Amino acid sequence: MKDERQRYILFKIITDDAENFNQKVLINSIWHSIWKYFGMKEAPKIGLWLVELNVLKCYGIIRCSHITKEIVISALTMIQEISDKRIILSPIKTSGTLNKIRQYLK
Amino acid sequence: MSYFESRLGLNFEDLDRIYHVLKFCEELNINNLILEPLNNAKYFHEDLFHKISENTKIKLFFRFNIKPKTIKEFKKEIKFYQKFPNIISLETQVKEIQLKAAKDSRVHVLSFSDPVNMKTITPGLISLAKQNETFIEFSLAPIMIKNRALQSKNFRILYRFIQLILRMKPKFIISGNFDSLYDIRHPRNLCSVCHTLFGIPLEQAKNAFSKNVEMLLAKVKSKEGNKFIQPGVRLIKGDKLI
């Protein structure tokens, strides 16, 4: 069996109000979006993990399996609201290593 | 690969709003944008387009969308817009006009952005568009709505439309055409949505947001200065060998 590789996705957070925004709220809404658009068939394959969330600098990094990269990007793209506040989670960079993502951020 | 947001409707009377939207698009890392004047397109000049282009890092292009209700109206509008060196698209539910536009080389794009319009497409029309190298466009705006029932309905309409397009293989482009600022998404992310939710192969989805749009722009540019006759035929002035 082939090993499952990981992908790190860097995304930008664009919102007017980031005050009530935390890791728990974010991960819940990403899961909600995955369930809503892709259902139980795809959800177990993802292996979603929130690596970092920086509300001040408006970015976040999530980890997922390489097969489900496009699904996670779609799920992030389809999120329109979190806690009744309009928001955009825009994936900007995908990489196989966290170091590359960090280099991109610098 | 550079991606294009092929349709963003803006009111060209409100310049502040335009700059605000463009700044928002810059924040989303959008590099290429095709703007559509929403009202009074007839009163706008190239100077205004240049002025807007100079004030942003985004590479801007422009398009005109005509919505005729009768063939007479279509003829009148196309005659007016053909002098502009911009993309001309047509959006209508009237089948006769759609067929006429698919044959007309002055119309570059047949647009189906509304779910109601999407239902009017036929294999015959796609085949005609394919023969005349007219692009077919559809938008993802109908799926970015809050009402779940309506969203599901639009998903189904769009899915059927896309499957027909994939089967007939015409040249097609995909646009966002979002009304609200917070609905706008980067075209690369929309590629993923098309691939995962509508079953468009990733390479084809990427082409619909980049290569095909570049081809469309090249086609429009080639028609500039009335040097274009039909694909493969070029008028060369002053050449005695012809």
Q: What is the interface pTM, i.e. ipTM, of the complex?
A: 0.94
Distance CA A51, CA A23 (A): 10
Among B179, B192, B198, B200, the residue to mutate for chain A (most A Cβ within 10 A) = B192
Residue A20 located in a structural domain:
yes
Walk across the sheet containing B32-37 and list its strands.
Answer: B4-10, B32-37, B59-66, B87-90, B109-112, B135-139, B172-175
Give the number of domains in chain A.
Answer: 1
> CA end-to-end span of chain B, whole Å?
39
Side chain identity at residue B25, one-letter code: C
Asked whether residue A85 is assigned to any structural domain, the reply reads yes
Structure tokens at B180: 């609200």
Q: Rounded CA gap, B189 and B199, in Å? A: 15
Domain for residue A1, yes or no?
no
Placement of tokens 């005729």 in the chain: B68
CATH number, domain with residue A17: 3.30.70.3250
Lowest mean pLDDT among A18-32, A42-56, B193-207: A18-32
User: In this model, does residue B233 exceed pLDDT 90?
Assistant: no
> Domain for residue A32, yes or no?
yes
Among B37-51, B78-92, B155-169, the range scoring the smallest mean pLDDT is B37-51
Yes or no, beta carbons of A91 and B189 under 8 Å apart? yes
Question: Does the structure show a pLDDT above 90 at B131?
Answer: yes
Give the residue numbers spanning the domain of A81.
Answer: 6-105
User: How confident is the model over B19-35, as pLDDT tens digits?
Assistant: 999 999 999 999 999 99
Q: Is the pLDDT of residue A34 over 80?
A: yes
Tens-digit pLDDT profile for residues B168-183: 999 999 999 999 999 9
* pLDDT, mean of residues A47-62: 94
Q: Considering only CB atoms, which residues of chain A are within 8 Å of chain B?
A: 12, 14, 37-38, 70-71, 73-74, 76-78, 80-81, 86-88, 90-92
What is the model's pLDDT at position B232? Answer: 64
Q: Which two tokens stand for residue B106?
A: 């002055």
> B34 near B7, Cβ under 8 Å?
yes
Write down the pTM of the prediction: 0.91
Residue B235: what pLDDT? 66
Q: What per-residue string of b and e applies to A4-21 under the rule 16 or more CB within 10 Å gives b?
A: eebbbbbbbbbbeeeeeb
**Please, what are the domains in chain B?**
4-224 (3.20.20.140)
Smallest Cα distance from B189 to chain A, Å: 6
A13 in any annotated domain: yes
